[in-house]
Amino acid sequence: MTLTARMPHIVLIVLDTTGARHLSLYGYPRPTSPYLERLAQDCRVYTRCYAPGCWTVPSHASLFTGLYPSQHGACEGSFLLEDNLHHLTTVLKMAGYRTLGISSNGLVSPATGLCGAFDEFTDFGRHDLDRFFHNLTGGPRENGGELGARLKQAVNLREAVALTFTYLKEGGGVGPLCRTARQLTRRLLRDFWHPSPVAKSAGYTEKTVAWVRRMLPRLTQEAGQPYFLFINLMEAHQTYRPPLRRRRFSRWRDRAWVDPQRFYRRPKTPETARMVETYRNLYDDEILYQDEVLGRLWEALRQSPAFENTVVIITSDHGEHLGEKGHYTHILSLYNELIWVPLIIRYPRDVAPPGTDDRLASLTDIYATVLDLVGSPLPHPATSHSLLGAPSRESALAQLLYPEMWLTQWQYRARQAALTRETFSPSRFALFLDQGLKILERWDGELEIYDLHQDPEEQNDLRPALAPEVLAEFRALVALHQEESGFWTRRQEILQHRGLPAPEMPLEAQPCAVYSAA
């Protein structure tokens, strides 16, 4: 492989919340990514890429710095990167690049410090960010008091009405009922007239396409200066509301009525199973629509005079759980539903040929790859391996340092599991080995071990069949990687800074409102 004589233009597209498991390009039985399959013929498709975190902040920070969450510091409860880190945007600006970004995810913006100092940045998610930090900092919320807390248990209109009548029958006042009704009405009207990207993403996705089409001619006219263009598409993120005209797997009347995280608070019933299946259909339709949008973005790039010298990177920050292994959305898990992500890179022909690449990869590797593409003299962190060289990664990590924001869901689900004598303990550390083994360490200290070559769905835990001495070797290997990545040090810093209880405390003994935004 040789590098281009001129520094290439770089386009980084993050398909937010799009797991590889739901893409037909990666073997999903539904045809959710037909256009991606076509354009992948001109790209290098990495089949074993894993995200370092299960949600937006840690994964994007790892993508921009080449470091794991415990090293860059942007993780659960702490969204600020460590000082003096080399950020991809800053590195490219030092190399002479013009940097532009557009995002529908409020967490992925200069306002959070996550995106560094772009020359220009269009942030569609500001209103979502304001509400998110309002809840995160424990500000007053429109929760309707006791009635509002009860209504948060409902997953459909019938249950909400039943809970309301029960509240009134037990002596609840009409005043709280009226206040809750007003709050709900205001929220519904706000989401109808001025929906945010989380409430309804399609409008912002179309605005992103229009913005890119307007911007590309201007960028190509600026002769002599390469550009870095970052795009975050939030189409697949909840709330799942694909455009009616684009639906294939869901019906026109299907809608995701409530946050799927509420399913953590409920036992499994046929009704909830039907709702989850409806959400799965809506999620797949979101991905199908997003695929069509991606095709339009690709065509806009392809028509640019500079396309031959343009690197296009398409990936995701994490996937989505839809009931698998008792999980929903993208919290409390490091299973492959969340951290197996697509990675498709279109290189100039004289850099790397198209084809399938089965090497072990991490989102952190994008950082080193871009540095090599632009010929940056900065050293690569040991956690970032350039994809332009021969496969060299022996292991990859994913981390969940301390899920303080989701303790309520954890507690509800753990109590339900205790009633049926099951075990529910989220994973906190995942170690991928190049030969195909995956070692998960749960919060209760137990390991789960999977052979991903033979068991990509992670259904057959190998741990019970392993000899004690072999299991001890795996524990030592996990401990070594935790120490080298600073996992325990960072976690302790989070606990001390936030004044949180140690996670070794039995879950049932922890106060249910440990974290005000839970």
177 and 228 in a common domain: no
Q: For residue 220, is the peptide bond before it cis, meaning its omega torsion is within 30 degrees of 0?
A: no
Asked whether the predicted pLDDT for residue 21 surpasses 50, the reply is: yes
List of residues 6+ apart from 283 with CB closer than 8 A: 22, 236, 240, 320, 322
Q: Which domain holds residue 493?
A: 404-509
165 and 266 in a common domain: no
428 and 353 in a common domain: no
Share of the chain above pLDDT 70, in %: 82
DSSP structure class, residue 8? P
277 and 150 in a common domain: no
100 and 83 in a common domain: yes
Asked whether the predicted pLDDT for residue 137 surpasses 60, the reply is: no
Residue 104, token pair as written in the block: 């529908």
* Conformational region of residue 260, where left means phi above 0, alpha means psi within -120 to 50, and beta covers everything else: alpha
Span of 193-207, 248-262, 423-437, 491-505 with lowest mean pLDDT = 491-505
Q: Which helix (H) or strand (E) holds 448?
A: strand 447-451
Residue 121 lies in a domain: yes
Task: Compute the average pLDDT of residues 101-120.
Answer: 87
The enclosing domain of 109 has a CATH number of 3.40.720.10
Name the pLDDT band for 405 (thresholds 50, 70, 90).
confident
List of residues 6+ apart from 80 with CB closer than 8 A: 73, 74, 113
What's the mean pLDDT when you consider all of the chain? 86
Share of the chain above pLDDT 90, in %: 61
In sequence order, what DSSP letters do the residues of 39-82 get, joined into one string? HGGGSEEEEEEE-SSSSHHHHHHHHHHS--HHHH--BTTB-PPP
Question: What local confidence, expressed as pLDDT, does residue 514 receive?
Answer: 30
Residue 108 lies in a domain: yes
In the chain, the amino acid numbered 150 is R
Asked whether the predicted pLDDT for residue 497 surpasses 60, the reply is: yes
Task: Compute the average pLDDT of residues 113-117.
Answer: 82
Last residue of a domain, one of 393, 418, 439: 393
- Report the number of distinct structural domains present in the chain: 3
Question: What local confidence, expressed as pLDDT, does residue 354 receive?
Answer: 95
256 and 358 in a common domain: yes
Question: What local confidence, expressed as pLDDT, does residue 150 receive?
Answer: 59
- For the stretch 364-384, pLDDT in tens is 999 999 999 999 999 999 999
254 and 341 in a common domain: yes
The closest of 361, 334, 322 to 345, measured between CA atoms, is: 361
206 and 188 in a common domain: no
Name the pLDDT band for 506 (thresholds 50, 70, 90).
very low
* Conformational region of residue 261, where left means phi above 0, alpha means psi within -120 to 50, and beta covers everything else: alpha
Helix/strand/coil (H, E, C) string of 321-374?
Answer: EECHHHCEECCCCCCHHHHEEEEEEECCCCCCCCEEEEEEEECCHHHHHHHHHH
371 and 491 in a common domain: no
317 and 207 in a common domain: yes
Instruction: Tell whether the torsion through CA atoms of 374, 379, 382 and 383 is positive or negative.
Output: negative
In the chain, the amino acid numbered 264 is Y
Residue 181 lies in a domain: yes
Asked whether the predicted pLDDT for residue 334 surpasses 80, the reply is: yes
Question: Largest Cα–Cα distance in the chain?
Answer: 77
156 and 43 in a common domain: no
Measure the CA–CA gap between 164 and 169, rounded to whole angstroms.
9
Measure the CA–CA gap between 457 and 451, rounded to whole angstroms.
10
Distances (CA, A) of 123 to 79, 111, 128, 181: 17, 9, 11, 32
82 and 145 in a common domain: no
Question: What local confidence, expressed as pLDDT, does residue 515 receive?
Answer: 26
Asked whether the predicted pLDDT for residue 9 surpasses 90, the reply is: yes
Name the pLDDT band for 496 (thresholds 50, 70, 90).
confident
Question: What local confidence, expressed as pLDDT, does residue 270 receive?
Answer: 87
Instruction: Tell whether the torsion through CA atoms of 408, 412, 418 and 424 is positive or negative.
Output: negative
- For the stretch 421-470, pLDDT in tens is 888 899 999 999 999 999 999 999 999 999 999 999 999 999 999 999 99
Asked whether the predicted pLDDT for residue 2 surpasses 60, the reply is: no
Residue 132 lies in a domain: no
Task: Compute the average pLDDT of residues 75-97.
Answer: 87
